[in-house]
Structure 1
Amino acid sequence: MVVQLEKSTYEAKTQEIAKQLLEATREKRSFFAHMRDNMRWDDKLLAWAMNNPGLRVQLFRFIDALPALRSKTEVARHLQEYLGDESVELPTTLKGMLNFANPDSMPGQIAATTVSTAVETLAHKYIAGENIKQAIKTIERLRKDKMAFTLDLLGEAVITEAEAQSYLESYLDLMEQLTQEAQRWSTVEEIDLADGESLPRVQVSVKLTAFYSQFDPLDEQGSKEKVCDHIRKLLRRAQELGAAVHFDMEQYVYKDMTLSILKELLLEEEFRERTDIGITIQAYLQDSERDVRDVIAWAKERGYPVTVRLVKGAYWDQETIKAIQHGWPQPVYNDKAATDANFEKITRLMLENHEYIYSAIGSHNVRSQANAIAIAETLKIPRRRFEMQVLYGMGDQLAKALVKQGHRVRVYAPYGELLPGMAYLIRRLLENTANSSFLRQSLEERPIEELLAPPVVKELNSDQLRVEPASLKAFSNAPDTDYAQSTARQEAQQALLKVRQQLGKTYLPLVNGEYVATEETVDSLNPSNPSEVVGKIGLISVAQADQALQAAKTAFPSWRRTPAKQRAAILRKAGDLMEQRRAELSAWVCLEVGKALREADAEVSEAIDFCRYYADEMERLDLGVNYDIAGENNRYIYQPRGIAVVISPWNFPIAIATGMTVAALAAGNCTLLKPAEVSSVIAAKIAEILLEAGIPQGVFQYVPGKGSTVGAHMVKHPDVHLIAFTGSQEVGCRIYADAAIVQPGQKHLKRVIAEMGGKNAIIVDESSDLDQAVAGVVQSAFGYSGQKCSACSRVIVLEPVYNNFIERMVEATRSLNIGVAEAPSTQVGPVIDAKARDRIRAYIEQGSQEAQLALAMNAPEKGYFIGPVIFTNVSPDAKIAQEEIFGPVVAVIRVKDFPEALQVANGTNYALTGGIYSRTPSHIAQASAEFEVGNLYINRTTTGAIVARQPFGGFKMSGVGSKAGGPDYLLQFLEPRTITENIQRQGFAPIEGVD
């Protein structure tokens, strides 16, 4: 169903103005007509991208990688790798140019030079210069054409505090130089004066996230304090120089915090009367109208107007993908017409409130601009309170036409080096070549009526606002908490307060449906503050363990006969209960094992997923398989093994404990959960949830105890059929060996499912996006203080980028916040206990003798803290490069080429996770084939595997090759059976399809 918008009061005038503007902007010939040989290469590239979607993707990927390539040979090789794919249909001219045998041949060098020059020319169409000097020349040219400007510094992907400081200093220097130049500029009345008032000749546009490398809505207060310190310095200097400052809007996750910070700051006495400051609203966001109304109300309270720049939005693809991946509601409109309609609606709202805000209408859509002009002229809005804006290189003809009509036009002009500017260039190319782009449609000379028609909006129901790819519809993962929402942050803090009120309680074992008293207890401590007792844990004795095993043995016949659908229903209910208690469970994880809140929340999501996924999987497997032929039926079915002992680790105390437990239960096994001693409170919470979900007496039992005694006893017990273990290689191998011994009275071979850690490596090659690589390595290495089995502990870096990578990685790590796990600003919390802390310190001492210490951060004295440590120039055979440290210690290894990188990566006893940062297709293909890991991550972090999407587990000494959260994981908890029946009777058998 579609809804035609009601004809606006301003529609007739909009059409009239739009036709005038369109006539003035249209070229005499079609852009696509006559692709002549003398057409410039940059124009050819753009035209080819418009005409060929497959080529468009590969071409933009090549352009993204181009600035990182250091020789013509590398450029030629990447050209062939990206564009030589047979699935991509190439124009004859391009195909001929790429038809060279060797990248270092003369034809290869010519191709590299031609395309590199074309891309550089293309970039300069959209980027005002690579330095201030070039930018000033561009500005002077714009002023000559009677256009104002706002200058934006490219490369604001700030991942270190040093870069944040440099960003501020660059803008202070930029304003200084611009205002000095401005003194020599002659007055251009159309842009320098309005209603008898002088306007600032210099304006800069800045992004809040570039002022603080750890900008995060979860740490709203901390981020606000850090950012505001820099903003105040910028605004004070801008006032001294007479420059205007405009604040850009970025990704949706930062939107609410950006608006909150600016509203609060601009109400401060020092800045309240400033009218030379602006903020940005993105019309593609579904809540943008509400935001504008809030800004108008705030501006009324403030009493002095600010500029509101209205744009469509630049991150549509990114926002859409992020929403899909996280299972969050779509923040942007999916329909381009809906964005256009919202833009017009907000334009009217802004202009009708011109007493309180200045409007800056940013668009290259002739209709959008014409609609704004129609409203402004009808309402007779003063010139000072209204201007038009376009992006540099995107709306040149429209800008000139607007100037001729007497409007103030401001050009948003980014400048900076090509490398940091590439992301901006790709966004501009995507916009220019998109089918829905007004610029493209105009170039294609679509009918005027079509181009200028009011937007027609599809009416969507609530289900259509959540977009899921077809591949993920089979299983929907539990969405993590979106801490960009203030309600989520409040709920998290309330949960922490609630949990703190419950600290110190005693948690007893659950044996045969009853909580039993124990002779021995142990305190579970908060590793952030060891004086704080999270809970007192009753440890079972060997005799009580035997009672639990007997109870499981007694319950097994009934549980194995329980229909799979009934078992699955209990587990789904457990998942639902976890969802309801999400914030509370995250708080327990945070306090008992020292995991930062966002990571704790993701772990709860994983636990929920395990409950639901294994329920689904068991129902699938329970259907069995039929292999029938004439006269014979063959049935392939599964049955449970018997009694399962789950020995879970402390580093994923709810996700892994839940996953192994519910897998065993779903398969029909009676299960005993023996958690790590230091995470037994969380395991007790799992027990509470399973009981509430309806698990029968004796089927599941919570048996906290000492691994060396009770754990070892259960592993060896003849009534145990399988052991699911996650932990260290030493303990895992001991369990494997003990389980292999057939005990007296034992009539089966035990199955051991073991995941035993890794020495995980990330390879960074010379074509990688270093912004992405540095951030990803730092997160993979130091998230949860390096205590994830998937954490990166080795970084293998190719020589051409080694020094640059090390410098940025050290600074990015130095910028991390170390502190108690529950603090919203914390990225690096404590290690689990004193034993772990002392062991890690011993490895650091060893590393200091083996390699060069590049960074050793200080850490709080109170609590079990170890600051992040980086060693460089590490030998691949060094102890710190071979042994699992399980802490925030990283060994960086230099290699000459990619084959050596793979050899080093594979040179340990482990094969759990690995990563590669590369934009070279052949390197990615080679790593996919040869990198010996169970989970390979390409151009992303190595942590955070998601159930069903990224089943997790390794081989070699990392484990038995099982994949938790995968389609074959439950098979290890089951025994297959084949049942064959001869259905002939006296030579007669029913044959399907025969009467």
Structure 2
Amino acid sequence: MSTVKDKKFETSPTIRETYQLLINGERVDSKSDETFTTYNPATGDAVAVVAKASIEDADRAVKAARAAFDSGKWKRTPIGKRSRVLNKIASIMRLRFNELVELEILDTGKALSAAQGQVMQAIEDFEFYAGAIVGHRGDVNNVPGQFFNYTQKEPVGVCAQIIPWNYPLMMAAWKVAPAIAAGCCVVLKPASLTPLTAIVLTEICHEAGLPPGVVNVIPGAGSTIGNYLVEHPEVDKVAFTGSTPIGKDIMAKASQTLKRVTLELGGKSPNIVFEDADIEAAVAGSLYGIFYNTGQSCEARSRLYVEESIYDEFMEKFTEKAKKLKLGNPFNEETHIGAIISKDQLETIDGYVQSAIADGATIVTGGKAATVEGFEDGYWYEPTIITNVNHDMKSVQEEIFGPVVVVMKFNGEKEALALANDTIYGLGSAIWTTNQARATRVANEIKAGIVMVNSPISAFPGTPFGGYKQSGFGRELCVETLDLYTETKSVLSYFGTRPLNFFNV
């Protein structure tokens, strides 16, 4: 198995050539003995051979999680000790930081800076929930008469967590950390394209002292393993990040057993630049907002709206900077844009660009697959800016999931809001203005779960992440996420001295 490395990045010596399932605290092969190979999208080279979970493996993973949960060993562990385990997970991840970064790059082809930031946030997620769980408790409520009422938070049970390929480790951390903090047990199903860091994370969880069965990982096909987990009667909750069509299917299947569901789905996020914006800041932020992570991000600001009075000036600067973005060796610190995850995704992206051209749009820059010297067998796409679009175009309404942005002019807040909200999605949004009153007005009217004001950053540990409309429901990355992994039990006690005999018999 060959890898691409850069001398400026200190690579880890611990990368393995084979990775197994992890069920009930043990590394195991698939019951079917099937495996699959993961490939580096930047080079086309094989990275590792991974055990491919079967339905039988999925069932034993669920049963291991159920047995671990029902035993009560983890859910009855004092919160302080649970917190220490989460902090230890974070500590081990810090020690293995370079290994996790390298694996993430080899699996996804993303740029070094992106991988480093995402691995660091994954670490901070565990640290955040180690603290958040300490204050997550029930309430005492005032009720009439001689009654005393209190509520307590109890873990929801066995959770199936289905992870996407665009942020493999970070999305796993977003889900695993709050689930185990709350006392739940987990069956983790990473994307088949990018399973390696999820497997290593699960191993780290056990190294940190998590009891067997609390976190299990079963790489395999979503169409079989994912569906099986969603329909399994012993799974109490499903958390999914991915496309809106698959989210709808999961919701329908989960309804048959009334599972709790959290869905973080697609987006087509607007980026609004008003005439009073700091143009340099808006150009730099808009560039990052769409081209970060190669545009393969659910909250990528892929619809850019620029007020007509500054449109020409903004577009000149935006285009100039887009042309300077560097594609290349993902391990090189100077690389801005990494590879596209797969050939299929590359063709999907190009299909949207070609549809825009067919609809009469203009390609300002980019618009085709790129060839990168030394990485000719990888999957690359040029940073692409499309203008002369209208809102009925497929490229404007549908999620492209690549380094492609469509640009339109607007006049005034009313038109900007009408354009921004004209979508089935409602995940992210961004506003660029130096007028705080305007920022507040527009933020209040945008139908999106996340509003970024004069910044391209969408989330930190502690800030809610999730969407409106067909971008899903539930919020991750925040204290409130713990409510998604707990049930609230109400206990009502009578403390009067006279018996309650309402029937008077």
Q: 1: CA distance between counterparts of 2:498 and 2:337?
A: 76
- Measured in 2, the distance between the counterparts of 1:628 and 1:760 equals 44
Aligned to 1:751: 260
Alpha-carbon contact 1:653-1:683 (below 8 Å) kept: yes
1:907 — aligned with what?
Answer: 422
SS in structure 2 opposite 1:964? coil
TM-score (norm 2): 0.92
Q: C-alpha distance in 2, partners of 1:922/1:846?
A: 39
Map of 1:856 onto structure 2? 366
| Aligned mates of 1:612, 1:967 — CA distance in 2 | 12
CA distance in 2, matches of 1:833, 1:814: 23
- Match in the other structure for 2:29: 517
1:668 aligns with 2:170: no
Partner of 1:863, secondary structure, is coil
Give the letter for the 2:23 counterpart.
Answer: V
Q: Deviations over 1:470-500 (max 9, x none)?
A: xxxxxxxxxxxxxxxxxxx98x6112xx35x
Please state how far the C-alpha of 1:677 moved relative to its aligned partner: 0.8
1:523-534 alignment runs, 5 A limit: 523-531=37-45, 533-534=46-47
Q: CA deviation at 1:839?
A: 0.7
Distance 2:394 2:123 in 1: 38
Conservation of the 8 A alpha-carbon contact between 2:429 and 2:451: yes
Q: Identity of paired residues, percent?
A: 35
1:494 aligned partner: 10
Q: Secondary structure at the match of 2:164?
A: coil
Conserved 8 A contact 1:818-1:859: no
**CA separation in 2, counterparts of 1:763 and 1:610?**
30
SS in 2 for 1:792: coil
Could you tell me which of 459, 465, 468 is aligned with 1:955? 468
Cα displacement (A) at 1:616? 2.1
Any residues of structure 2 matched to 1:178-577 within 5 Å, and which?
A: 493-495=9-11, 498-499=12-13, 502=15, 505-518=17-30, 519-531=33-45, 533-557=46-70, 558=72, 559-577=74-92
Distance 1:859 1:705 in 2: 31
- CA deviations over 1:671-705 (Å, ceiling 9, x no partner): 00100011111111101210111111111111111
Mapped to 2, the partners of 1:804 and 1:606 lie a distance apart of 35
Secondary structure at 1:757's aligned position in 2?
A: coil
- Cα distance in 2 for partners of 1:576, 1:757 equals 32
Task: Indicate conservation of the 8 Å contact 1:874/1:894, yes or no.
Answer: no
CA distance in 2, matches of 1:529, 1:885: 23
Shift of 1:986: 5.2
1:728-747 equivalences under 5 Å are: 728-742=243-257
Given candidates 870, 885, 891, the residue that maps to 2:406 is 891
Q: Work out the CA distance in 1 between the residues paired with 2:89 and 2:303.
A: 38
Q: Deviations over 1:642-670 (max 9, x none)?
A: 11000011111111111201211111111
Is 1:795 aligned to 2:314, yes or no?
Answer: no
**Partner AA of 2:438 in structure 1:** H
TM-superposed CA distance for 1:898, in Å, is: 2.2
| 1:833 matched residue in structure 2 | 342
Q: Where does residue 421 of structure 1 map in the other structure? A: none
Deviation at 1:799, TM superposition (A): 0.9
Matched, 1:824 2:333: yes
Equivalent runs, 1:94-173 vs 2, <5 Å: none
| 1:172 match | none
Contact 1:880 1:891 in 2 (8 A): yes
Contact map agreement 2:428 2:458 (CA 8 A) in 1: no
Cα RMSD after superposing both structures: 1.7
2:464 and 2:422 mapped to 1: Cα distance? Answer: 24
Determine which structure has greater relative contact order: mean sequence separation of CA pairs < 8 Å that are 6+ residues apart, divided by chain length.
Answer: 2
Aligned partner of 1:647 in structure 2 is 162
Q: Please tell me whether the aligned partners of residues 267 and 298 of structure 2 are also in contact (alpha carbons under 8 angstroms).
A: yes
Aligned mate of 2:212, from 697, 702, 719:
697
User: Greater helix percent: which structure?
Assistant: 1
The alpha-carbon deviation at position 502 of structure 1 amounts to 2.7
Residue type at the aligned position of 1:493: F
Q: TM-score if structure 1 supplies the norm length?
A: 0.47
* Secondary structure at the counterpart of residue 465 of structure 2: coil
CA distance in 1, matches of 2:497, 2:185: 41
Query: Matches of 2:251 and 2:329 in 1, distance apart?
Result: 37
Instruction: Give the match for residue 976 of structure 1.
Output: 488
User: In the alignment, residue 955 of structure 1 is paired with which amino acid?
Assistant: Y
Structure 1 residue 965 corresponds to structure 2 residue 481: no
Which amino acid counterpart does residue 597 of structure 1 have in structure 2? L
Q: What is the SS of the residue equivalent to 2:153?
A: strand
**1:628 Cα offset (Å):** 5.0
**Is 1:815 paired with 2:319?**
no
Of residues 344, 348, 353, the one that matches 1:844 is 353
Separation in structure 2 between the aligned mates of residue 592 and residue 884 of structure 1, nearest angstrom: 23
Aligned residues: 483
**Which letter maps to 2:390?**
S
Aligned match of 2:502: none
**Equivalent residue number for residue 582 of structure 1:** 97
The 1-side partners of 2:458 and 2:424 are apart by 23
Unaligned runs of 5+ in 1: 1-488, 743-748, 988-995
The CA distance in 1 between the partners of 2:182 and 2:147, in whole Å, is 28
**Runs (4+) off by over 6 Å:** none
What per-residue deviation string (whole Å, max 9, x for no partner) do you get for residues 838-875 of structure 1?
A: 11111111111221111116442430111111101211
Q: Partners of 2:461 and 2:40 in 1: how far apart?
A: 28
The equivalent position to 1:596 in structure 2, one of 111, 114, 118, is: 111
Question: For residue 109 of structure 2, what is the amino acid of its counterpart?
Answer: G
Tell me which of 765, 774, 790 is aligned to 2:283.
774
1:925 and 1:628 map into 2 onto residues whose CA distance is 37
Q: Distance in 2 between matches of 1:543 and 1:584?
A: 31
CA distance in 2, matches of 1:807, 1:957: 34
